[in-house]
Amino acid sequence: MLPLTIWVTLAFAAAAAAVPSRDGAHKLRERVVPPRGWTKRAPAPADHTIELRIALPQNDFPSLERHLYEVSDPYHERYGQHLSKEEVEALVAPHGESVHRVNEWLASHGLVEDALDRSPAKDWVMVKVPVSLAEEMLKTEYHVWTHDASGDAVIRTTSYSLPEWLDGHVELVQPTTAFSRMHALRTTFRFDSTSSAAPKLASDAPPISVPSASGGHVDASCNKTITITCIQQLYNAVGFAPSAKNGNQIGITGYLEQFANEADLQTFFAEQRPDAVGSSFKTVLVNGGVNNQTLDEAGAEANLDTQFAYGLTFPTPATFWSTGGSPPFKPDVLTPDNSNEPYLDWLAFVHKQKHIPQTISTSYADDEQTVPPSFAKRVCNEFAQLGARGVSLMFSSGDGGVGDGEEDPALQECFTNDGRNATRFVPLFPPSCPFVTGVGGTIHVPETAVFFSGGGFSDLFPRPAYQEAAVTKFLDTLAPGTYAGLFNPHGRAIPDVAAQADLFRIFLSGRAVSIGGTSAAAPTFAGIVSLLNSARLSAGRPPLGFLNPLVYALRGTPAFNDIATGNNPGCGTPGFNATKGWDPVTGVGTPNFGKLKEVVLGDLVL
């Protein structure tokens, strides 16, 4: 992005010039190779409605980023002095000239203010148009594309153009080139054969000695079945009682038509958190999200996330966002297209809120290489806005180790999506965004890295300063030439942290099931973070906000349990090793709530 001074110069120059020709030459903005597994079908129906989302450049994102790092750096004097909604909006507001030119462009196609919907900062404009008009505006042709495996259909194009005089005034337009498919992160999902009988959660075996755990040991049963009690013991959180009334809240995002079932939650509470029976959470529907409480329609992902996050943080007020936008459009129906860009729908919704839960967990992601770079960068910057406002964002790091999790080599996607088909590891987005906290996975007690824990290096985002020392140290331990060409050694590295990720006992459609995936790790880690935020708020301190600078400042201290065994195979390789110090399997390790609490309350310098 250009520095501010140059923007001002350009703006004056433009204002002095004649009104630019409305048509003029178009310039190609983006051309993508559609990800494997999509097939081009018929031209899109001309009268089918799509909602174009036009992103205007955020005028002063570099300042927002500077504020974010200052208020998130535990050694900075501004630590914890988060920005207000209005302060963030002022920093990301587009330049007036951009608003003006985009208005001109839209008006030249008959689209005036009444037809437009704008974000609070005016950095997004949304407008519903027929495909025929979108094609004219973007000098492109839309087609119906189907996803081979699921049969889902979307209306997309592989390239689009904009008038040259919008250069520097429009960052991106979607839906155009984004074919990515977000998926729930969950590897294993099996019904527990013992579920109809009384649950055997206790074990006669002597407890397992874990020096960092509450009381120095963990129930023997936790090596086979993870419950709320196991997490509290293992992460040294037994006995901490968060407040229901200090303003602290926790939020879970749900996508892909998933909702959390309240009856299942009560069954879960009755078994694992009896004092929480009768308590519930608030479901907020975003853009056509669903909340069908029919018992056998609940989502495994939604139930897992809510049962563990809320089970760990009761009585903290809890929110579940059910965001629509999927399954995508059916080509035979002439209703407005679901954008199928659910992160944007959710972000647009929460950016408008005055109060946002301080801790938010998301267990959905896409293969980074399937997300158009312009789109990934903008969405990542939008996550930074939440961090600047004091929100901690946790994302599962992925369930395919260094690969995509596909066991059948013929179906593996360990290839670049740039037409070259070069072999490449597969980092996931959003965890590859440097402004969120990526959560990898462990298994068993004592803990070891779980084989599916997603980890690696972004091909899109350069390495942020906060992890430079930790990651360089790891890279120096690799034998020269290790996996050369398979990953970007200069990229943002994931994950940042880890938590238990398998053998979780939850309730689904009235039955106990055992479930795993980094899907389980993210809400578990988020639960611990929410307890820390509760301690902070009760002590009259601000919430933790963007966590990573603090996380890396505490690496190698007792605040985290360093995981140094296990590895994360994928793409036909054994993947990386969990090692002493940060590693691309378990990050800096799993949390020790007791130690972290002393640190964040300022009572312990590590």
Ligand X SMILES: *[C@@H]1O[C@H](CO)[C@@H](O)[C@H](O)[C@H]1NC(C)=O
What positions carry a catalytic annotation?
A: 301, 305, 519
**Phi and psi at residue 341, in whole multiples of 5°?**
-125, 70
Among 334, 462, 482, 606, binds ligand X (CB under 6 A): 482
Could you say whether residue 292 binds ligand X (CB under 6 A)?
Answer: yes
Could you say whether residue 161 binds ligand X (CB under 6 A)?
Answer: no
Burial class for 343, CB neighbours closer than 10 Å (0-12, 13-18, 19+)? buried
Q: Which span sits near ligand X by CB under 6 A: 52-60, 118-126, 290-298, 350-358?
A: 290-298
Q: How far apart, in whole angstroms, are the C-alpha atoms of residue 512 and residue 223?
A: 17
Could you say whether residue 33 binds ligand X (CB under 6 A)?
Answer: no
Q: Locate tokens 């993508």: which residue?
A: 32
Q: Which span sits near ligand X by CB under 6 A: 74-82, 259-267, 292-300, 466-474?
A: 292-300
Could you say whether residue 243 binds ligand X (CB under 6 A)?
Answer: no
Instruction: Tell which positions 183-222 bind ligand X, by CB under 6 A.
Output: 208
Could you say whether residue 148 binds ligand X (CB under 6 A)?
Answer: no
- Cis? peptide before 464, omega within 30° of 0: no
Q: How far apart are the first and last CA of the chain?
A: 38
Give the nearest distance from C-beta 54 to ligand X in angstroms.
32
Strand partners, 284: 321
User: Closest CB to ligand X among 314 and 487?
Assistant: 487
3-state secondary structure 185-213: CCCEEEECCCCCCCCCCCCCCCCEECCCC
Q: Locate tokens 């992005």: which residue?
A: 1
Among 419, 480, 481, 540, binds ligand X (CB under 6 A): 419
Could you say whether residue 577 binds ligand X (CB under 6 A)?
Answer: yes
Among 99, 116, 201, 478, binds ligand X (CB under 6 A): 478
Q: Are 112 and 106 in contact (CB under 8 A)?
A: yes
- Cis? peptide before 446, omega within 30° of 0: yes
Could you say whether residue 39 binds ligand X (CB under 6 A)?
Answer: no
Q: Are 74 and 395 in contact (CB under 8 A)?
A: no
Site string for ligand X, 557-576 (x = CB under 6 A): -------------------x
Could you say whether residue 5 binds ligand X (CB under 6 A)?
Answer: no
Q: Are 257 and 302 in contact (CB under 8 A)?
A: no
Spacing of C-alpha 396 from chain mean position: 7
- Return all residues near 449 (Cβ < 8 A) that are at least 6 apart: 440, 441, 442, 443, 498, 563, 565, 566, 567, 568, 578, 585, 586
Among 421, 465, 468, 602, binds ligand X (CB under 6 A): 421
Q: Which span sits near ligand X by CB under 6 A: 267-275, 291-299, 339-347, 430-438?
A: 291-299
Give the nearest distance from C-beta 210 to ligand X in angstroms.
9
User: Closest CB to ligand X among 219 and 366?
Assistant: 219
Give the nearest distance from C-beta 478 to ligand X in angstroms.
5
Q: Which span sits near ligand X by CB under 6 A: 60-68, 264-272, 289-297, 314-322?
A: 289-297
Among 49, 132, 161, 223, binds ligand X (CB under 6 A): 223
Among 22, 27, 31, 36, binds ligand X (CB under 6 A): 36
Given strand 172-174, what is the order of strands in its sheet? 116-118, 124-130, 49-55, 172-174
**Which of 106, 91, 92 shows the shortest CA–CA distance to 166?**
106
**Binders of ligand X: how many residues, by CB under 6 A?**
13
Amino acid at 178: A
Give the nearest distance from C-beta 103 to ligand X in angstroms.
40
What is residue 234's DSSP assignment?
H
Greatest distance between any 2 Cα atoms in the chain:
84
Could you say whether residue 444 binds ligand X (CB under 6 A)?
Answer: yes
* Residues contributing to the site for ligand X (CB under 6 A): 36, 208, 223, 292, 294, 297, 419, 421, 444, 478, 482, 576-577
